[in-house]
Each structure stands twice: as structure tokens, then as C-alpha cells.
């Protein structure tokens, strides 16, 4: 069986981005080491492909299970979703 490139239309592609950054420095600190620790930053990028070359994109600090319903268009938060188009030519997705 020969595989061909395709885009899945039955779900979402999800990327989790995570990084650590240092906390804010106390402006009244007497030493450079007097900071408020570290902060873990987590956000998700969600991409959903639709039929006929339509796609939707959302970047959120809320976990995917809390925002995937926004893609239905029936939620007032759906306005935060970016809409666009795509084409698949050979092995290239544009």
C-alpha cells in the first residue's frame, strides 16, 4: 500500500509549549539574588483543518480539553480563533 500525504480532518493538531523563566526581581532587594523564584509558562497552539482548504488556529493558555469546543462556532469564545486557508501540493502544505 502506498501512502500519500494528507491532512487529517477529524481532529486537532496540538503543540504544547513550555518554558521556565525567572521571577521578577524585587525593586527593593539588596542583592541580585533576591528574586521571586521561577515561573513555568505553558501555552498551547491548536490547529484544525477543515474540508475545502479551510483551517483554524488558536493559541491559548487554557488546556486543549477546555477550548476544543470553541471550534464548533457555537461558543462566544469562537471569535478568538483565527481562520485561514491551506493547500496541499505534493508533500508541501501551504
pLDDT at 54: 92
Place of cell 524585587: 26
Strands 88-89 vs 82-85: parallel, antiparallel or unpaired:
unpaired
- In sequence order, the β-bridge partners of residue 89 are 92
Q: How far apart are CA 91 and CA 79, in angstroms?
A: 31
User: Cα angle at 75 between 72 and 77, to 5 degrees?
Assistant: 110
Mean pLDDT of the chain: 82
Whether the per-residue pLDDT at 1 is higher than 60: the answer is: no
pLDDT in tens, 16-62: 999 998 777 666 666 655 566 788 899 999 999 998 999 999 999 99
Whole-prediction pTM value?
A: 0.73
Q: Which stretch of DSSP H or E encloses residue 78?
A: none
Amino acid at each position: 500500500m502506498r501512502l500519500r500525504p494528507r491532512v487529517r480532518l477529524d481532529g486537532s493538531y496540538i503543540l504544547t509549549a513550555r518554558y521556565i523563566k525567572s521571577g521578577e526581581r524585587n525593586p527593593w532587594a539588596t542583592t541580585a539574588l533576591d528574586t521571586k523564584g521561577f515561573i513555568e509558562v505553558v501555552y498551547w497552539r491548536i490547529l484544525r483543518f477543515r474540508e475545502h482548504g479551510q483551517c483554524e488556529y488558536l493559541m491559548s493558555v487554557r488546556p486543549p480539553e477546555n477550548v476544543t469546543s470553541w471550534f464548533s462556532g457555537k461558543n462566544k469564545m469562537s471569535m478568538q480563533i483565527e481562520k485561514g486557508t491551506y493547500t496541499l501540493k505534493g508533500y508541501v502544505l501551504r
